[in-house]
Structure 1
Amino acid sequence: MKQRLIAKITTVLQHVPLVGHLSRQKFIAQFVIGLIKSRNGPFCEVAQHLNDAARPTSNETRIQNFFRDVTLDYPVLV
């Protein structure tokens, strides 16, 4: 079910040019699902729900790198 939800969110993100790369769109989908599951915003808590195959510390680093390196087109959301 998680993979279908990621696919649906990624499809929506393809119509909203928030980020250009498919891998980044999939990451945003995983991050949104992690936010919903954790019901909290700190990266360390979202990281526990991001990717089950990776350690939470690796997921947290991935989140930090994403927000440090990617420029989001915020006016598109308005």
Structure 2
Amino acid sequence: MVPLWKHYCAEASGLVYVVDSRDRERMEETKSFLYMVMDEGKVPDNMAVLVYANKHEVPGAMSASEISNELDLASLRQRNWQRN
């Protein structure tokens, strides 16, 4: 599946990544997949990335800041800027 990402991302303006905000057990797997898409998918440095927290209204769901921390989005953004 990975080889196809570089074809999809080459001409895209943005990436929407949907996360199940109740699935705490798979957050590490979710993070790994996002990083793999960003790295091996040849996502352009200037591409907008939206992480959408699905099921955020359900009791027990992680907050936006928890998801951001679990996915280490600040580090991902810094890594992309350093590639320029």
Alignment TM-score, normalising by the size of structure 1? 0.30
More helix by share: 1
Higher alpha-carbon Rg:
2
Larger relative contact order, structure 1 or 2 (CA cutoff 8 Å, min sep 6): 2
